[in-house]
Chain A
Amino acid sequence: MTMMRYAEALNAALREEMQRDPAVFMFGEDIGRYGGVFKVSKGLMDEFGEERIRDTPISEQSMTAMAVSAAMTGTRPILEIMFADFMPLTLDALVNQASVFSYLWEDQVEIPFVLRTQGGGGAGTGAQHAKTLDALVAHVPGIKVVAPVTPADAKGLLKSAIRDSQPVVILEHKLLYNMRGEVPDGVDELVPIGKAKIVKPGNDITILATSKMVLEAEAAAKQLEKDGIDAEVIDLRSLRPLDIGAIKTSVAKTNHAVVVNEGWTFGGYSAELSATIMDHCFDDLDAPVERVAMPDMAVPYSEPLELAVLPNAEKIAAAARRALV
């Protein structure tokens, strides 16, 4: 085990996978000389050169489509999209290219392509730099989506993503890059895509959370403990494929569920989660599923406004209490 920051864990995953496989390369804006605006690719250009760590013009749309076709033809591209808010520019390549050809041409091509990006609010970055937009990509068939919270999961999931033969979107969170945690050593320490993790076991209510909301859910569980409520907090880690087994097992035990996601509410990832629970756990539920997500509006800039729209521990605890009345 080594103690490291989330950004360092991602950096280690990139370095190890690039050392392991010469077909792996990364491109994106400011990732080379500067090492990325969140320093995830720090030092990699010096080690791997300007071809395998490429600074690009501001051309997200072409870059994503290029990554898809490069992946079909023998390389394993990793594309960094600086903010998740720019994902709309990547969508044609994901929606109309990557997801289509992987099915239609199945036996002929693989698309081992990783799109790394980061989203989320709380840093005063304004309406065009604070969104989550996980539902946009999780909506697309044939694309895997993961959202690590701990440094260990960041490293292990990124490595799994790079080795996967399908496109994988990895959603990081801007407020997680400096968080520290123990990370297992070893080049082949992977975290499997599609496996959720129980971060706090409990018997009274299941709280399903994604990305940084897992930390808020853990804080909510502590608040609930004071009221004698024993919440189980599950970090989904993989948004798609979704670990339906973990959800079923937990809800069968607790009979109550709160779903937490930083994206918009309507048509958001929280909507998918609550529909999934309805589909698979209806008979186990003693109360309707409670949702905690972002209100359907632009993310405001001013601090009191931004804090008001973000889901947090208090909102999650209140939702859990509502479910349990």
Chain B
Amino acid sequence: MKNAPSIEEQKEIHYKMVLTRRLEETLGDLVKAGKTRGPLHRCDGQEAVGVAACAALTIKDYACTTHRGHHVYIGKGMDPRRIIAEIMGRETGYCKGRGGHMLLGDVSTGMLGGNAIVGAGIPAATGMAMSIQLLKQDRVAMAVFGDGAAQTGICHESMNIAGLWKLPVIFLLENNQYGLTVRQEVQSPIPDLYTRAAGYGMPGEVVDGNDAVAVYRVVAKAAERARRGEGPTLIEAKTYRMAGFSTSDMGGYQTEEEMKPWLKRDPIKLSAAVLAKLIGKDEITEIDKAATEEMKQAFEVALADPLPKFEIHAPSSAYSEATQ
């Protein structure tokens, strides 16, 4: 049973969390400078959930995420330069600029989709688990989704089917307290969403989503269970959305008072404190520096990349002669 990260893994998790934070911050600067297009959903404060969960999986395992999935992109090992290029609509982006920041997909790292339809990643991962089960593969699928997504009809349907058929899927509910502007208690009569697992015949776990090691452990345990053929697990990671819903959010509903304790429990600060005991402060400073530098260079390269040229998507064509 391997359900705690090694020191090397912890270092890598920390590195990727810093990478993600720099990505978000730099995007924030570009938004202010008017250099981006459309809304952006930052995951500041939630890095531990996406990054540590992906660290507990292998590159062969599938992950589905949401409109707020930058930490999963980085966690799954996608290339920062190509992530940025996609967000900036460049030809070199993961989808050649067609997708934008919410809709990246990369088969080579098993990151099968950001998704901007709330809840859509839940049946997507469940279907991938069905395929894994049929093909008898040594793989698991993970859906990372929000507390808002947990209220959709397809969430219920997917969890019921996954429990029923013992599918190798991990439902990682990232409870950041808000669905868009609406607080979690306005969306659900219960504060602890993981308790719903009982109704689907699967274990329900709750974890501090700002504690990377704890997230890693609980996801590793769920992955082992799935690989043993015992079926799905619902994990609720309690965390907090530090940078608002999106860049078009007019804000005003997340009070400073509410935010304060969460800012103190910033997952990167927590991870640094834990790691410092193991490797010392200096090495952490080095990790921070290296990640900051990698992201800076990724932005430089991506921003110099060209915009794409338009082509009709032939397979979507309505007339057969056009696709011949």
Contact = CB atoms under 8 A, between A and B. Distances in A.
A binds B: yes
Nearest to B146: A58
Interface stretch (A121-129, A142-150, A280-288): A121-129
Nearest to A82: B180
A266 B319 CA distance: 9
Interface stretch (A16-24, A154-162, A213-221, A298-306): A298-306
Contacts of A296: 316-318
A304 B308 contact: yes
A124 B37 contact: yes
A266 B312 CA distance: 14
Closest 9 CB pairs of A and B: A302-B89, A302-B97, A301-B100, A124-B38, A266-B318, A57-B151, A124-B37, A308-B310, A297-B313
Nearest to A61: B153
A18 to B, nearest CB: 21
Given A55-B182, A58-B151, A298 B116 contact: no
Contact of A302 (B98, B151, B152, B253): B98
Nearest to B89: A302
Most chain B CB neighbours (cut-off 10 Å) among A34, A57, A58: A58
Contact of B148 (A37, A57, A127, A295): A57
A129 B250 CA distance: 19
B186 interface: yes
Given A30-B182, A266-B318, A58 B187 contact: yes
A33 B253 contact: yes
Contacts of B140: none
Interface in A24-73: 29-30, 32-34, 37, 55, 57-59, 61-62
8 contacts: A29-B180, A30-B182, A34-B180, A37-B248, A55-B182, A58-B152, A126-B103, A297-B313
B188 interface: yes
Given A34-B250, A57-B182, 20 more contacts: A29-B180, A55-B186, A57-B151, A125-B100, A128-B103, A128-B116, A128-B117, A265-B318, A295-B313, A297-B312, A298-B313, A300-B97, A301-B89, A301-B98, A301-B103, A302-B98, A302-B307, A304-B89, A304-B309, A308-B310
A85 interface: yes
A101 interface: no
Contacts of A298: 98, 313, 316
Contacts of A86: 117
Nearest to A304: B307
A309 B98 CA distance: 12
Interface of A is mostly: loop
A301 B99 contact: yes
Nearest to B187: A57
B60 to A, nearest CB: 27
Nearest to A36: B181
Contact of A303 (B89, B151, B313, B317): B89
Contact of B39 (A32, A61, A125): A125
A301 B98 CA distance: 5
B264 to A, nearest CB: 26
A5 B151 CA distance: 34
A59 B153 contact: yes
Contacts of B312: 295, 297
B130 interface: no
Nearest to A300: B98
B100 A33 contact: no
B241 interface: no
B238 interface: no
A33 to B, nearest CB: 7
Interface in A247-266: 265-266
